[in-house]
Structure 1
Amino acid sequence: MAYPRKLLNQGEELVLDLRPHWLAVAVPTLVLVVSVVAGALVTLLADIDALSLGALVLIVVALIYFGIKVLGWSTTNFVLTTDRLISRQGVLSKSGIEIPLERINTVFFNQSLFERMVGAGDLALESAGERGNQSFSNIRKPALVQREIYVQIEANENRKFDRMGPAGGRGLSSAEQLEKLHDLVTKGAITPAQFEAEKARIFGA
């Protein structure tokens, strides 16, 4: 299920909308296959009705388990927009987290040898706020996702910096412009070098 476009803010664009990697449903799939094969063999080779019934129950349970996991997989979104990182999951009851890009400090990824072979891995974020560390499992091509997050963080910072340019500061006193710049650099929205360059522009240095 795709992330609903109606939940995007005005001017916000969708960059990535990912399902978890198929590794997330690998175990349920294996359990289902083994259950079906074992159940079929028992039904064909055993003459005891109780064993055949038990095999049928095993298959039904495995099928239900598989269905629940696949449904959870299909309703889990890892979304990157031009403003936010969003994780949502759930069918009837939903849960999720949204992290503004300007609050993200560092992005890590981790892959085992097997995960590198199949293109899966885990992402970890360090961000400002109460829940400073967040981890996400079974991300598709985590190295590319990490790079795209940094690209969008930089683009987001540049947009905010542009709004603080001559047009963005029009009508504000030098002190007010400096205060807004200081707020941006404190939040990490612009770099100290950008702060100094804009400060020099304001005071005509």
Structure 2
Amino acid sequence: MPYPEDELHSTEELILDLHPHWWFFAKSAAMLAIAVILAIATLSVSWLSWATVPVAVFVFATLVWFVQRYIRWVSTHFVLTSDRVIFRTGIIAKHGIEIPLERINTIFFHQRIFERMLGLGDLDIESASKDGAQRFEDIRNPSAVQNEIYKQMEANQIKAADRISGGINRAHGVAEAESIPDQIAKLSALRDQGVLTEDEFQMKKQELLGRM
């Protein structure tokens, strides 16, 4: 079940869409396999017939556990886009986290020895938000995911710088036909929006006042 692209912004690009590593439901799968083996043994050996009901209950319980874990695996997404990190889990009762790339400070990953062998680990993302650090477990190839997030953060910073540069160029290209007070008012609005810094605003303002 892929992450729905209609939940992305119009200019947002989907980079990674990951379900948890298969280890997420490995324990439940192993217990189900043991239950099936016990059921086969119970049906095959006559003197174990007394255990038919307990084994049947055990098989049913492990099957329910496996199905529950599998549904959770299918409905859990760790998503990286060109603008943010998104975590979603659940079908009926849903839980989600979104972290804009520009608010991420540091990314750590943790792998025990057997996790390195299987290619999974935990990812910690520290951000400038009220929740602080967030841990995401059972991430496939966490070192590669870490590198890709840093790559998208860098690309996001370049895009932000380009937007600011474009705003400054637009401010510097204000039509001469406009009155100087109107031009200063527009520059003030750009400063209030964060497109221009205070120094850039004052410099352009003095330049315009010098023409009066």
Asked if these proteins are the same fold (TM beyond 0.5), I'd say yes
- Are 1:73 and 2:73 an aligned pair? yes
Aligned pairs for 1:181-196 (under 5 A) are none
5 Å matches for 1:149-164?
149-164=149-164
Secondary structure at the aligned position of 2:131 is classed as coil
Deviates more, 1:133-142 or 1:35-44: 35-44
Unaligned runs of 5+ residues in structure 1 are 184-197
Pairs aligned (count): 186
Question: Which amino acid in structure 2 is aligned with residue 138 of structure 1?
Answer: D
Report the counterpart of residue 17 of structure 2 in structure 1.
17
Aligned residues of 2:31 and 2:62 also touching (Cα < 8 A): yes
1:111 aligned residue: 111
Stretches of structure 2 lacking an aligned partner (at least 5 in a row): 172-185, 205-212
Q: Secondary structure at the match of 1:47?
A: helix
Q: 1:80 and 1:181, CA in 2 relative to 1: closer, same or farther beyond 3 A? A: farther
The answer to whether the aligner puts 1:93 opposite 2:108 as a matched pair is: no
CA distance in 2 between partners of 1:96 and 1:177 (Å): 33
Q: Which of 171, 178, 191 pairs up with 1:176?
A: 191
Q: Aligned partners of 2:146 and 2:49: how far apart in 1?
A: 55
Q: Deviations over 1:25-63 (max 9, x none)?
A: 110111111111122212322436441122112111111
Deviation at 1:10, TM superposition (A): 1.3
Using structure 1 for the length normalisation, give the TM-score. Answer: 0.83
Out of 72-81 and 173-182, give the one that drifted further.
173-182
Task: Give the fraction of aligned pairs with identical amino acids, expressed as a percent.
Answer: 41
Greater alpha carbon shift after TM alignment, 153-162 vs 33-42: 33-42
User: Which 4+ residue blocks in structure 1 deviate beyond 3 angstroms?
Assistant: 46-50, 172-175, 177-183
Does the 8 A contact of 1:87 with 1:97 survive in 2? yes
Larger Rg: 2
- Give the distance between the partners of 2:72 and 2:194, measured in 1 at CA: 46
